[in-house]
């Protein structure tokens, strides 16, 4: 009897479990398993290469989780709209299948967890015939993701890139480190008169990039118009000393339209490496003047000079030599430095002077890395 009662209890429990998992309503048709078309297709162009990025679909058109993804068609057209792929520019193989997760006996009891979309990418190369000097010309792209039966639900969102012709980079980029910064030189292709006349809505300029070798951080150091063919240069004075930089230049095509402006970079020059080691002293101080004071008080000589405007200036050194009597060139002694610490302002008072001597002074400037300039022109002053 107890065994019979146990079977009845087990049967009731099983029926209750089925009731909890039961779905109300008419039965659903079998899924076609068509991946939803991507809606986040993006495109960027560099030279004649167009890089496409999008997310792999995770749901089908009937909101089921995608179990299998087939090949992906990459569609390209010179028209502004694509209605169907036609002859795809590329057919990408299916992505690797994700490992299958265990499924609960009761789907309603499963936690809803959407898999993270996997990023996809493809790089297309534009032929020379597709690039032109028409500012309105564009290339349109879309992708279509198919199922395992090579059927799709339609195209993704469309993206457009300018079809403008880009210019080659300079072939002779060189760099020289100076006290003012890095001087880059190259030969400019120049803005041709035919191009200006036929396509006034397209302009070109050289763009200079600087990469910090240690951090890998890229910065735009500046831009230079193409102007006339011939020698071109650029001074980068915004660098930080004691760092290593990689410089490169690209020619940028700027497409001006009535409602927008678009820019397309060409290829880069090979990088030029510069070690920004500062061995350059500040400017030499100028305008040094010496004035004696001492009537009725302890004698002293005041020095003043024009301030040095170098951004990395740390201070000044003051030097003195002396001679007996009023004749400066007689019995000149060894020059000594008067200050133990750098003088921070362009002035100095020498109180260690004696009557009957003539003192000759000069001043130098020192930067924060200890580079010292040449000494200034001398200024002499006798002490009565």
Q: What CATH homologous superfamily does 286-383 map to? A: Immunoglobulins (2.60.40.10)
Which residues, including other chains, have CB under 8 Å from residue 327's CB and lie 6 or more apart? Answer: 358
Which among 52, 118, 117 is positioned nearest to 90, based on CA atoms?
A: 52
Radius of gyration from C-alpha coordinates of the chain: 39
| CA 26 vs CA 29, 33, 62, 75, 107: distances in Å | 9, 20, 16, 39, 17
Domain positions in the chain? 31-95+117-165, 174-275, 286-383
Q: What is the second-level CATH architecture of the domain 174-275? A: Sandwich (2.60)
Per-residue pLDDT of the chain (384 residues; tens, 9 = 90+): 455 655 556 555 555 554 554 455 555 566 678 999 999 999 999 999 999 999 999 999 999 999 889 999 999 999 988 988 889 999 999 987 655 444 444 444 444 455 677 899 999 999 988 988 888 899 999 999 999 999 999 999 999 999 999 999 999 999 999 988 999 999 998 876 555 555 678 889 999 999 999 999 999 999 999 888 999 999 999 999 999 999 999 999 999 888 888 999 999 999 999 999 999 999 999 999 999 998 778 899 999 999 999 888 999 999 999 876 555 454 557 899 999 999 999 999 999 999 999 999 999 999 999 999 999 999 999 998
Q: Are the beta carbons of 378 and 353 closer than 8 angstroms?
A: no
CA distances from 142 to 17, 53, 85, 153, 217 (A): 47, 11, 8, 13, 32
Query: Considering the domain 31-95+117-165, what is its CATH architecture?
Result: Sandwich (2.60)
> Is 286-383 the same fold as 174-275?
yes
Q: Hey, what are 49's tokens? A: 């290469």
- CB-based burial of residue 373 (10 Å sphere; 0-12 exposed, 13-18 middle, 19+ buried)? buried
Residues shown for the chain: 384
């Amino acid at each position: 009897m107890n065994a019979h009662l146990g079977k009845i209890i087990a049967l009731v429990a099983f029926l209750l479990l089925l009731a909890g998992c039961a779905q109300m309503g008419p039965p659903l048709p079998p899924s076609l398993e068509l991946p939803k078309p991507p809606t986040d297709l993006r495109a960027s162009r560099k030279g004649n290469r167009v890089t496409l990025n999008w997310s792999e679909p995770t749901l089908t058109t009937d909101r089921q989780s995608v179990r299998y993804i087939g090949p992906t068609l990459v569609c390209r057209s010179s028209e502004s709209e694509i209605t169907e792929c036609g002859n795809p520019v590329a057919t990408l193989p299916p992505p690797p299948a994700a490992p299958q997760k265990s499924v609960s006996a009761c789907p309603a009891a499963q936690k809803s967890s959407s898999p993270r979309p996997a990023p996809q990418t493809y790089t297309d190369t534009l032929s020379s015939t597709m690039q032109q000097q028409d500012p309105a010309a564009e290339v349109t792209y879309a992708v279509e993701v198919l199922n395992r039966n090579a059927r799709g639900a339609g195209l993704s969102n469309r993206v457009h890139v300018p079809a403008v012709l880009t210019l080659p980079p300079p072939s002779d980029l060189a760099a020289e480190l100076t006290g003012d910064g890095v001087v880059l030189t190259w030969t400019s292709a120049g803005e041709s008169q035919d191009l200006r006349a036929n396509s006034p809505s397209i302009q070109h300029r050289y763009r200079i990039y600087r990469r910090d070798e240690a951090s890998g951080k890229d910065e735009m150091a500046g831009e230079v118009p193409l102007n006339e063919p011939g020698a071109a240069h650029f001074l980068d004075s915004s660098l930080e000393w004691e760092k290593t930089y990689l410089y490169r230049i690209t020619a940028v095509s700027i497409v001006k339209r009535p409602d927008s402006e678009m820019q397309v970079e060409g290829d880069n020059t090979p990088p030029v490496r510069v070690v920004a080691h500062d061995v350059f002293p500040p400017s030499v101080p100028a305008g040094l003047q010496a004035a004696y004071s001492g009537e009725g008080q302890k004698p002293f000589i005041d020095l003043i000079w024009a301030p040095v405007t170098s951004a990395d200036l740390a201070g000044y050194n003051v030097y003195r030599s002396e001679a007996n009597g009023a004749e400066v060139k007689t019995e000149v002694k060894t020059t000594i430095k008067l200050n133990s610490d750098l003088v921070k302002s362009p002035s100095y008072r020498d109180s260690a002077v004696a009557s009957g001597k003539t003192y000759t002074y000069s001043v130098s400037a020192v930067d924060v890395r200890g580079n010292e300039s040449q000494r200034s022109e001398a200024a002499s002053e006798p002490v009565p």
